[in-house]
Structure 1
Amino acid sequence: MLSEDVYHSIMDDVASLFVNDSSGHDIHHTKRVHDSAVTIQATEGGDIDIIRLASLLHDADDRKLFATENYSNARSIMVDHGISKDMQDAVIHVISQVSFKGKDTIAPDTLEGMIVQDADRLDAIGAIGIGRAFAYGGKAGRAMYDPKEHHKEGMSESEYYSNEGTTINHFYEKLLLLKDMMNTETAKRVAKHRHSFMEGFLKEFYDEWYGTNQTNL
């Protein structure tokens, strides 16, 4: 098992990649995913080192943020900290299966991958998920909401990544789908509450947008 000093040092390296990030993919997101993954692992099992490393490095080469190839940021960080080639490969395999890709999304083929994917998805829903969605939308120059623009369904990976729809549409194109895509029982339980919170937020949003609830004025 890797030492805590190694993990703290890797966290520092990852933090340096996200300096001044305002898209919701900052080091705080990484820490939450890591901590959630560790919590899930305590119940579900799996190799704790692979899970922790993949959690910390899962956004190090995110295509939305970096123009890297072959997970070079994650690889470089692991090499610098003496992680074995076999473990590097296992970690990269997990990371490669984490992302949501519309209808081309895959379910991880390892328990470690399932746990890291669940932890990442849990941070995309609920109160923090809502905040991150609007942070990313603002960073990307997307409208908050446009009543004339309808959300898209069944997008392929390429369509999903090229989509520039509103943040509210993103709820229907991804966030509200995640509850039923969780892999572990632990994550499924947490996702139910966070999903309900998002549904309540959307109802309030529409009430305020269209002026259908004026009781607080």
Structure 2
Amino acid sequence: MTPTERQATYEAAVLAHWGAARDAAHDLGHLRRVWRNCQRIALDHPEADAEVLLAAAIFHDVVNLPKNHPDRAQASRLSAEFACTWLAQTDFPPEKLNAVAHAIAAHSFSAGIAPETLEARILQDADRLEALGALGIARMFSVAGAMGGALFDSGDPLAQNRPLDDRAFALDHLEVKLFPIVQTMQTAEGRRMAEEAAEWMASFRTRLLREIG
């Protein structure tokens, strides 16, 4: 089976598991972009296992719980379990299942698992890049809207005289979580891409503040 055929098979398994429950910020397009990010970062790391990366990238959000779900921190572990159970029933090399499971489990912010392998570091960077740049802005507002948050505090959009609260105001999420992502990147190419994307987000915020006065 070619890598393209494997990807299509993995995607079909994920879609079947999701059923009608879809998340605009974690859809099939997200999985494909994360895989492309993995491939781009891996150009600097030819020793990375592409077979592990492909499986981990496509299955990393197969169990996707809302941001405010009480079991949110377990989602990546549950995704890892699903992926390995499914892959074990195929011709996927059994000796690589632990590597796939670790990469998936460690990709998540909320899980708090340090990436210990090259593939885990690449996947974590590839996924976190999705939270930055123009796409990161779009996802930020989409998630905030789904959770009932406002776009920004019209009286104090930069939180100069109040505590930051990204559950109440989407724009606060830039300072609370998105800008700090740059410092968490695990690879040199991931860091470069993150810095470029964060710079764009800062310029977007400047333009937004100018428009809202």
Q: TM-score, normalised by structure 1?
A: 0.79
Say what the alpha-carbon RMSD is for the aligned residues. Answer: 2.6
CA distance in 1, matches of 2:60, 2:3: 20
Q: 1:115 to 1:18 in 2, by over 3 A?
A: farther
Q: 1:18 to 1:144 in 2, by over 3 A?
A: farther
Say if 2:145 is the partner of 1:138.
yes
Partner of 2:168: 165
Residues 98-145 of structure 1: CA distance to partner in whole angstroms, max 9, x if unpaired? 1113xx845411110110000001111000111111111112222211
Q: Do the aligned residues in 1 keep the contact of 2:121 with 2:186 (CA within 8 Å)?
A: yes
Match of 1:81 among 87, 90, 93: 90
The 5 Å alignment of 1:25-64 reads: 25-45=26-46, 46-64=48-66
CA distance in 1, matches of 2:20, 2:85: 18
Partner of 2:164: 151
Gaps of 5+ in 1: 153-162, 212-217
Q: 1:8 to 1:84 in 2, by over 3 A?
A: same
CA distance in 2, matches of 1:90, 1:165: 38
Letter in 2 for 1:151: L
Match of 1:120 among 127, 131, 136: 127
Residues 44-66 of structure 1: CA distance to partner in whole angstroms, max 9, x if unpaired? 23111111111111111233389
Partner of 2:13: 13
Q: Do the aligned residues in 1 keep the contact of 2:182 with 2:198 (CA within 8 Å)?
A: yes
Letter in 1 for 2:52: I
CA distance in 1, matches of 2:36, 2:152: 32
Say if 2:210 is the partner of 1:207.
yes
Say if 2:197 is the partner of 1:194.
yes
Q: Do the aligned residues in 2 keep the contact of 1:22 with 1:139 (CA within 8 Å)?
A: no
Q: 1:29 to 1:70 in 2, by over 3 A?
A: closer
Q: Do the aligned residues in 2 keep the contact of 1:14 with 1:60 (CA within 8 Å)?
A: yes
Count how many residue pairs are aligned between Structure 1 and Structure 2. 198
Q: Which has the higher contact order (CA 8 A, sep 6+)?
A: 1
CA distance in 1, matches of 2:208, 2:36: 30
Letter in 2 for 1:37: C
Q: TM-score, normalised by structure 2?
A: 0.81
Q: Does the residue aligned with 2:22 lie in a helix, a strand or coil? A: coil
CA distance in 1, matches of 2:179, 2:129: 11
Q: Does the residue aligned with 1:183 lie in a helix, a strand or coil? A: coil
CA distance in 1, matches of 2:23, 2:101: 25
CA distance in 1, matches of 2:121, 2:175: 22
Tell me how far 1:3 sits from its aligned partner: 4.2
Partner of 1:176: 179
Q: Does the residue aligned with 1:189 lie in a helix, a strand or coil? A: helix
